[in-house]
Amino acid sequence: MKHPLKTGFSFGSTSGIITTVGLIVGLHSGTHSTLPIIGGILTIAIADSLSDALGIHISEESESKHSSKEVWESTISTFLFKFVFTLTFIAPILSFQLSIAVVVSVIWGLSLLSFFSYQIAKERKVKPWRVVMEHLIIALMVIVITHYVGDWINLTFG
């Protein structure tokens, strides 16, 4: 895979998965309502995908080692991969009762992250379980923290 596509895929998919799962868990514990979660997912799909794409764009430009075409390929692929992976989380929210949809979303996100982490480890020729566990621990930290922040918001302002 070419560098710009690998950059866009690895950053966009990971960011889309972790950000969206965190949002779903946090908004669920804070609101227990489907509408804010769907709105949050759509907001991430649009605003955060564009923001991350611009971040990658500036990061790639600042390295001064990529052509303009490569910078734009990284930018566009980051947006598209984050946008698409983020939108996949709408399906469980619309398909299941909300508390089940949250669990399905977490399982979906952690499964995708595990698969991508495994592929990265194999490509780097390192022990897959270490890479997978490292990435899953970070994702689980996001899930736990956003859950408790949602609880706090619900208790404080609900």
Residues of the chain with pLDDT under 50: none
- Report pLDDT for 1: 85
Integer Cα distance of 69 and 12 in angstroms: 18
- Report pLDDT for 158: 83
- Report pLDDT for 23: 98
Q: Are residues 12 and 79 in contact, defined by beta-carbon separation less than 8 angstroms?
A: yes
- Summarised one tens digit per residue, pLDDT across range 50-64 is 999 999 999 999 999
User: CA angle, 143 as apex, 18 and 85 as ends, to 5°?
Assistant: 25
Q: How far is CA 38 from CA 22, 23, 71, 78, in A?
A: 13, 10, 31, 22
- Summarised one tens digit per residue, pLDDT across range 100-109 is 999 999 999 9
> Where exactly are the structural domains of the chain?
3-157
